[in-house]
Structure 1
Amino acid sequence: MKLDLGYYGLSGSLSPSLGNLTLIEELNLSSNALSGQLPPLNRLHKLKILYLGNNSLHDMIPITLTNCTSLKILDLSQNLIYGEIPPQVSLLSVLIVLRLYQNNITGIIPLTMSNITRIEEIYLSDNQLKGSIPEELGKLPNVSRIILCTNNLSGGIPESILNMSSLQGLDFRQNMLGGELLPFCDSLRSLQWLDLGGNLFGGHIPPSLGNISSLTDIDLSSNNFTGQIPSFWGKLPSLYSISLESNRLEASHKHSWDLLHSLGNCTSLEGNLSVNLQVLGLGENQISGTVPLSIGNLHGLTDLELNKNNFTGGIEEWVEKLTNLQVLDIGVNNFFGPIPHSIGNLSYLNYLFLSHGTFTGPIPHNFGYLEQLQMLGLSHNNLNGDIPSSLGNLHQLQVMDLSNNDLHGDIPSNLGNLGELRRLFLNNNKLRAILP
């Protein structure tokens, strides 16, 4: 027996009569406007699937719910559930998927969860959980996803979790986890995405990450990692995204750039990373020197962020090759020389930030061909000449910042035709406005 009323626009509280549907196996009331408390469901011994997510239910997790011992999927996500996860959750011994994310749940992760040996997916993100991540979670033999992001968890990552052969995704971002990362075991052969951003991890990035050939996405941003940028990424043939922003990583000499050489020069035997890699974030570190030309071999890049470092040199020889870029953020560095006209050929660009550099010369007229551009930041450089009237063709543009340069001449009147423009900064130049 199945009752599916998801997305029906239902409102009000749940009827206690739901607890009398003793033959029901699947109950879906998700994505409505239901509020109030959960009715007693302890008699629903045949219930296998319970979807109550995306409502406004305001209750603690009833201990009586653990009498539904046939449950395989329990979804109370995106509600106003509060209180702690009851230790009796371990009585749901055949549970496969647990979704409690985006609530107000407090307390610790119960150690008793280790008794739910069939569980495959754990979603506890966006709550107020505290304490450490239990070592016991790493003893669950079938878990493929553990999502604990945006809580108040502290301590390190248990060694047992770094040894789970079934694990495909690990998301612990936005917590207070810290210390040095333990080595990642070779048994993590199924891990595809790892997100530890926004924590307090420090020390060097473990080279053992380079042994997990299944990885597609790695986010270690906004931590305290130090040392040289690792060079093992070229051994990861399926890598799609690397985010290392906001750490204290360094690359001050040629050998420090083995990262980009390993990515840009990798052979087909290692996997064609020049096509696979789409996101590379190295912003807000302590990287100096010139960007190696081999970065231009990463033809698949759509998002390149090198902002807030100490880069120097010109950019034309490598930027012109990155024809699929949608985001180019290299601001707050020491890049110099003219802005390459070839950037005007990057037709997919929607975010271009070159501010706070030492670029000279005029703004290229062919920037008017960047029809997808939404943000243009060229402020705090040494640009001169006039504002190209072609910029009036950027009908998707929302922000234009040309301030603090040496631009002169008339402000093009067709800038007034940019219907999506919300912010325009032209101050601290030598411009003239033509009054009607």
Structure 2
Amino acid sequence: MLLRKQDAGIFIGSVLWLLLSCGFSFGVESDINCLKSIKASLEDTLGYLNSSWDFNNNTEGFICNFLGVECWHPHESKVLNLKLSDLGLKGSFPQGVANCTSLTGLDLSSNQLNGPLPTDIDEIIMFITSLDLSSNSFTGQIPMKLSNCGSLNVLKLDNNKFSGTIPPEFGQLRRIKAFSVANNQLSGPVPNFNTTYITADSFANNPGLCGKPLEVCRSAAKKSSIVKVLNSYNVAIAAAAGFGFGFPFSFCFFLPRAPSVRYLVVFARRFKS
């Protein structure tokens, strides 16, 4: 039996409402699980999270009242920013952040976090525009895949223990406005950001770093010197070749034209005798 238009409209509306409700609930549940995972993975030495992050409350948007949590809307449990700076947190980078699917800002600065950053960090903080991990004890190399986070405006990794090179792919971060890796153990050439926002202060106290806006890298300077020497050598060779070819030509040119053959014969006989 065919449904009447009114009944069909009610049915379609109910299905759409159900789909939207499921999607909304999933989003809320995902963000709640995100915060639960972060709390479980970090050592809360000062008790800030333990006293504020109470998951026993089931009212809509309850996580938006947590310390350091900013939501897109105060009555919707979708996390916009996490500002967990200077809370005495210990542990490694909290990979549970990946469950905060609408997160745009993450600030974990001035804590006691350590260890390497995840190599797939771009999949964990896919839509981040601001990442501040400064003043911790992170080690290892800076993940190259951070360059895939094309929305980044702010990237602060200073005052850690990062080593190795800065991925040259960071030059692809076209939206970057603030960048700092000062006070680490980095070496090698710095990326070409093509922006005036990033100055030498962004790379301070990394004795192994070089390149604009720092001092020219030795390898580049050495290569430049070699090129200059080769250019000078080529000029000298060209001049010598020109002189060698020009001398006999000039000699022949300035001899008297009419008696030239006779003069050469007489000269040859005298030389022979």
TM-score by length of 2: 0.53
Q: 1:344 to 1:208 in 2, by over 3 A?
A: closer
- Give the partner amino acid of 1:359: F
Q: 1:212 is aligned with what amino acid? A: T
**Within 1, Cα distance between the matches of 2:199 and 2:185?**
23
1:316 Cα offset (Å): 2.4
Relative distance call for 1:323 and 1:205 in structure 2 (3 A) is closer
Q: Which amino acid aligns with 1:287?
A: L
Q: Is structure 2 residue 111 aligned with structure 1 residue 309?
A: yes
Q: What is aligned with 1:134?
A: none
The reply on whether 1:405 has 2:206 as its aligned counterpart is: yes
Equivalent residue number for residue 141 of structure 2: 338
Tell me the SS of whatever aligns to 1:385.
strand
Q: Distance in 2 between matches of 1:326 and 1:293?
A: 17
Q: Shift in Å at residue 333 of structure 1?
A: 0.6
**Distance (Å, rounded) in 1 between the aligned partners of 2:159 and 2:114:** 12
Residue 283 in structure 1 maps to residue 130 in structure 2: no
Among all aligned residue pairs of Structure 1 and Structure 2, give the percentage whose two residues are the same amino acid: 25
Q: How does 1:10-49 map to 2 (within 5 A)?
A: none
How far residue 315 of structure 1 moved from its aligned partner, in angstroms, is 1.2
Deviations 1:120-156 (A, max 9, x none): xxxxxxxxxxxxxxxxxxxxxxxxxxxxxxxxxxxxx
Contact 2:161–2:184 (CA under 8 A) maintained in structure 1: yes
Aligned equivalents of 1:210 and 1:400: distance in 2?
46
Matches within 5 A, 1:165-180: none
Aligned 8 A contact 1:296 1:319 in 2: no
Q: Mind listing any 5+ residue stretches in structure 2 that lack a counterpart? A: 1-47, 222-273
Greater RCO structure (CA 8 Å; 6+ sep) = 2
Give 3-state SS (helix, strand or coil) of 2:163's partner.
strand
For residues 296-324 of structure 1, the C-alpha deviation after alignment (integer angstroms, 9 at most, x for no partner) is 33332110000000001111245221121
Q: Secondary structure at the match of 2:186?
A: strand
Contact 1:368 1:394 in 2 (8 A): no
Q: Distance in 1 between matches of 2:121 and 2:188?
A: 23
- The correspondence for 1:366, drawn from 158, 164, 169, is 169
CA contact (8 A) 1:385 1:406 kept: no
The 3 A distance-change label for structure 1 pair 397 and 215 is: farther
Equivalent runs, 1:241-252 vs 2, <5 Å = none
Q: Is the 8 A contact 1:375 1:400 kept in 2?
A: no
1:350 to 145, 153, 162: 153
Partners of 2:85 and 2:64 lie apart in 1 by 17
In 1, distance between residues paired with 2:201 and 2:89?
28
SS in 2 for 1:204: helix
CA distance in 1, matches of 2:90, 2:53: 22
Match among 187, 210, 213 for residue 57 of structure 2: 210
CA distance in 2, matches of 1:241, 1:329: 23
What secondary structure sits across from 2:52 in the alignment? coil
Residues 203-242 of structure 1: CA deviation (Å, up to 9, x unaligned): 9337378333234743645xxxxxxxxxxx9xxxx95489
Q: Which has the larger radius of gyration?
A: 2
Contact kept in structure 1, 2:141 and 2:163, CA below 8 Å: yes
Q: Is the 8 A contact 1:374 1:397 kept in 2?
A: yes
Say yes or no: does 1:329 pair with 2:132. yes
Q: Which residue of 1 aligns with 2:246?
A: none
2:37 aligned partner = none
Q: Name the CA distance, whole Å, in 2 between partners of 1:214 and 1:334.
A: 33
CA RMSD, 1 decimal: 3.6
Give the SS at the match of 1:355. Answer: coil
- The aligned runs of 1:31-110 (5 Å cut-off) are none
Amino acid at match of 2:160: G
Are 1:279 and 1:301, in contact at CA under 8 Å, matched by a contact in 2?
Answer: yes
Unpaired runs of at least 5, structure 1: 1-200, 222-232, 243-270, 416-425
Answer whether contact 2:71 2:81 (CA < 8 A) is retained. no
Verify the 8 A CA contact 1:293 1:317 in the aligned structure 2: no
Which has a greater percent of helix? 2
Q: How far apart, in 2, do the equivalents of 1:375 and 1:240 lie?
A: 24
Tell me, yes or no, if structure 1 residue 292 matches structure 2 residue 139: no
- 1:385·1:408 contact (CA, 8 Å) conserved in 2? yes
Offset, 1:407: 2.6
Residue 53 of structure 2 contacts residue 67 of structure 2 at CA under 8 Å; is this kept in 1?
Answer: no
| Matches of 1:289 and 1:376, distance apart in 2 | 24
Matched with 1:394 is: 195
Distance 1:407 1:430, change over 3 A: farther
SS in 1 for 2:65: strand
Q: Would the alpha carbon gap of residues 289 and 313 (structure 1) be closer, same or farther in structure 2, given more than 3 Å must change?
A: same
Matched AA of 1:207 = D
Measured in 1, the distance between the counterparts of 2:199 and 2:103 equals 23
Secondary structure of the corresponding residue to residue 57 of structure 2: helix
Partners of 2:103 and 2:62 in 1: CA distance:
17
Q: Distance in 1 between matches of 2:187 and 2:160?
A: 14
1:207–1:215 CA distance, 2 compared to 1 (3 A): closer
